[in-house]
Structure 1
Amino acid sequence: MTVKTITTGELAKKVVNHEETLILDVRNTDEFDDWKIEVGKVKVINEPYFNLLDGIESVEGDLQKDQEVIVVCAKGGSSQMVGELLDEAGYSYVYSLEGGMKAWSEHLEPTKVAGLKGGGSLYQFVRLGKGCLSYFVESEGEAAVIDANRMTDIYEAFVEEKDVQIKHLIDTHLHADHISGGRQLAENVKGTYYLPPKDATDVTFDYTALQEGNDIVVGNTTVQVQPIYSPGHTLGSTSLIIDDQYLLTGDILFIESIGRPDLAGKAEDWVGDLRETLYKRYKELSNDLVVLPAHYSFAEELGKSGEVSARLGDLYQKNSGLQVDDEGEFRKMVTDNLPPQPNAYEKIRHTNMGKANPDEEERREMEIGPNRCAVHG
């Protein structure tokens, strides 16, 4: 018998709706330990596929025959086979995740953050498999996409559904953990691609400078995207204020952590910039701004509707990375708590500079694994 499949979109709906979900991950333990589905109310059991070939006794104590079990592997083949073993053993509601973790890594789940004051809307695209967050601003038939992932077809389908035209593609910084779709999307829709000039000194393509003081208007002056220079994660990192209400912080400030300054080998040089941005530049902004970061790290950061956001003033009360008054202690906290580098981060940076052009399959492989853009105090 062929076991039923569940799509990444169907699983994503369960996650963002905080439904109780049981996943049996049958990848090797080292792959599982490095990266797994751990969002919402998901319980994950890991039992490598080869341990189950001669019988499912090792997982029977963790599973009930009348509960839904979603089996996950790397690409969707092994999970189908394990699902058949469970089905033969009398488990009634077994599903195989279509495309496995490879497909999960690429799924984007759009969530409406809010309507905007002059009309239009702001959406957050949650990449649940990597913790990447991108944004879509639309007003009066025009749209801007910020920190787009490389799966450009998802944004293009979204604008077709909304009947708007993408005019602006913006990267808040040169990304190192995933391949940006901004430049490709700009080519596809004949839009303008923006990048901070201090992050673009080695790029091989033309771009429009994302600079403080140069507003980007979406629609008929209804929504203003106002850049704020905020270095620290990269030298050029630039935040955006949208509609005087929302602060898009890129990889500088997250909900439960802060950005890392070392992905260009500049931790000692850039940690001072990071502190300046977090402890001075952002401090001068309104506490009522809603922070919308470019990544998240923890399941708890997903809100009730699946969005990732927090009031800036609340983060100054709760985020441990914003609580270190002594500059020396801050420097020590950042440099001592750097996580492992993202997978293939140098090649990803070179791809985002236009210096490398890997084929689509290699691009997918380069991005496999979690984001590692944060420092956790």
Structure 2
Amino acid sequence: MDADAMDFPTPESDVDSIAPESLKAQIDGGESVTILDARMASDYEEWRVDGETVESINIPYFEFLDEEIDDDVLARIPDDEHVTVLCAKGGASEYVAGALADRGYDVDHLEDGMNGWASIYEAHEVTEYDGAGTLIQYQRPSSGCLGYLVYDDDEAAIIDPLRAFTDRYLDDAAELGVDLTYAFDTHIHADHISGLRELADEGVEGVIPEAAVDRGVTYGDEMTLTNDGDSFAVGEATVETVFTPGHTTGMTSYLVGDSLLATGDGLFIESVARPDLEEGDEGAPEAAAMLYESLQEKVLPLADETLIGGAHFSDAAEPAADGTYTAPIGDLVERMDALTMDEADFIETVLADMPPRPANYIDIIETNLGQQVADDEEAFTLELGPNNCAASQDALTSDD
């Protein structure tokens, strides 16, 4: 049952809501935050608001439906701290917060719940980028999705756009006084719905790897297909196609301004790609070998100062000084043993500790191929949760 669709009793107390951006600002600022997550335990275990200064308590909403709430339930909730209650969409948490306020607790509830949390989308300039123009990294904290906007003169291009934020890209381009000329996808994503087709509908030239079309893309005729070595001009900046299969057979990176390699899901600043989302466990060893070859022959030969910017970050990733999840190749080679292993050890490492596959990944892949239709609400719901596109749950980098 959808808790947020239920008719809850009306508590006597009115409680304030807190905007998702405000809650994140508290966490980013190092404030102590206590969260009561009123979702089901399975949803909580899969995906939740977390952080170094966050105390998170999971008590499902139904524990608060009786007029007399069990003392053991109330004992789990601190009565000497401010508590933020959240749920999936904001309805159940408003009721729970009101019930607690009736009993003297200092509470508010998260506006729009985890859906609101998933709507946060931040932009940070990549200050170490030294190519032509300016490079922005978009960050979606709820899922760790990353995108890149490069702009110069009166043109701009977006790499790995999310459908949920189509309007954001267009609005940002307009505010910057540039035309959004290109939208690039690195591959057929398994964790979020691509915004490529929606941007194409708005007049942006969509670009996908030609190798990705072989997976069954239904809209290839509507896009510009790209291959290794192709180059696209964005003002004086360039976006060069670098074919890097492994995570998928069509996985492609884009070298922006000869300064940052947008690696999609091939290489992250804390790990490397998982190789099992296209052909499953049976095809994973071959895909891992393909990934090894791509890293050794296409990525690592680039200059040490070339920045790596993946399509995702995890809780294990540490941002750079500018707040972006980017790092120089030379730094990653020093800190990530997997990049200096021989092929056999690399394959063994990549296959050893893969996390659960992304939620709804088959439906997401089929939607991104154009084989399945999802409206905006369905698309947003499909991609809620962690991305899990890396090969390991923990960082493969060391602090040395």
Q: TM-score, normalised by structure 2?
A: 0.86
Aligned match of 2:382: 366
Deviation string for 1:332-353 (max 9, x for gaps)?
A: 2222322222122122111111
Say whether the 8 Å CA contact 1:256–1:320 is kept in structure 2. Answer: no
Say whether the 8 Å CA contact 2:131–2:256 is kept in structure 1. Answer: no
Deviation string for 1:111-166 (max 9, x for gaps)?
A: 22238657632111111111111111111121111100111122222223222210
Cα separation, 1, equivalents of 2:360 and 2:320: 30
Cα separation, 2, equivalents of 1:15 and 1:250: 27
- Deviation, structure 1 residue 359: 2.2
Aligned match of 1:285: 302
Equivalent in 100, 106, 114 of residue 101 of structure 1: 114
Equivalent in 359, 378, 390 of residue 343 of structure 1: 359
Equivalent in 266, 271, 294 of residue 311 of structure 2: 294
Aligned match of 1:121: 134
Say whether the 8 Å CA contact 2:124–2:137 is kept in structure 1. Answer: yes
User: Partner amino acid for 1:2?
Assistant: D
Equivalent in 225, 232, 256 of residue 216 of structure 1: 232
Aligned match of 2:124: 111
- Deviation, structure 1 residue 172: 0.9
Deviation string for 1:327-372 (max 9, x for gaps)?
A: 2232222223222221221221111111111222322221122111
Q: TM-score, normalised by structure 1?
A: 0.91
Cα separation, 2, equivalents of 1:41 and 1:165: 41
Deviation string for 1:82-136 (max 9, x for gaps)?
A: 22133233333x2211111123223211122238657632111111111111111
1:117/1:341 CA distance change after superposition, 3 Å: closer
- Deviation, structure 1 residue 374: 0.6
Aligned match of 2:330: 313
Say whether the 8 Å CA contact 1:146–1:171 is kept in structure 2. Answer: yes
- Deviation, structure 1 residue 40: 5.9
Aligned match of 1:58: 73
1:299/1:83 CA distance change after superposition, 3 Å: farther
Equivalent in 250, 253, 278 of residue 236 of structure 1: 250
Cα separation, 2, equivalents of 1:100 and 1:33: 16
1:214/1:355 CA distance change after superposition, 3 Å: same
Cα separation, 2, equivalents of 1:112 and 1:149: 18
User: Partner amino acid for 1:240?
Assistant: Y
The 5 Å alignment of 1:162-181 reads 162-181=176-195
- Deviation, structure 1 residue 80: 0.9
Say whether the 8 Å CA contact 1:56–1:86 is kept in structure 2. Answer: no
1:247/1:167 CA distance change after superposition, 3 Å: same
User: Partner amino acid for 2:186?
Assistant: T
Equivalent in 158, 169, 190 of residue 155 of structure 1: 169
Aligned match of 1:354: 370
User: Partner amino acid for 2:73?
Assistant: S
Q: Which runs of 5+ in 2 are unaligned?
A: 1-12
Say whether the 8 Å CA contact 1:17–1:306 is kept in structure 2. Answer: no
- The alignment status of 1:70 with 2:87, answered yes or no, reads no
Cα separation, 1, equivalents of 2:232 and 2:163: 22
Aligned match of 1:24: 36
Cα separation, 2, equivalents of 1:292 and 1:147: 11
Deviation string for 1:260-303 (max 9, x for gaps)?
A: 11111131321111111223322211111121110012154344
Cα separation, 2, equivalents of 1:15 and 1:306: 15
Q: How many residues align?
A: 371
Cα separation, 2, equivalents of 1:155 and 1:4: 31
**Counterpart of 2:116 in 1: which secondary structure?**
helix
Aligned match of 1:34: 46
Aligned match of 2:10: none
1:115/1:307 CA distance change after superposition, 3 Å: closer
**Counterpart of 1:375 in 2: which secondary structure?**
coil
Question: Which has the larger displacement, 177-186 or 303-312?
Answer: 303-312
- Deviation, structure 1 residue 64: 5.0
1:136/1:104 CA distance change after superposition, 3 Å: same
**Counterpart of 1:257 in 2: which secondary structure?**
coil
- Deviation, structure 1 residue 238: 1.4
RMSD after superposition: 2.2
User: Partner amino acid for 1:342?
Assistant: P
The 5 Å alignment of 1:245-284 reads 245-265=259-279, 266-284=283-301
Say whether the 8 Å CA contact 2:288–2:347 is kept in structure 1. Answer: yes
Say whether the 8 Å CA contact 2:320–2:327 is kept in structure 1. Answer: no
Cα separation, 1, equivalents of 2:307 and 2:32: 29
Equivalent in 5, 14, 20 of residue 2 of structure 1: 14
1:42/1:140 CA distance change after superposition, 3 Å: farther
- Deviation, structure 1 residue 46: 1.8
**Counterpart of 1:328 in 2: which secondary structure?**
helix
1:286/1:207 CA distance change after superposition, 3 Å: same
Say whether the 8 Å CA contact 2:207–2:224 is kept in structure 1. Answer: yes
Cα separation, 2, equivalents of 1:299 and 1:37: 15
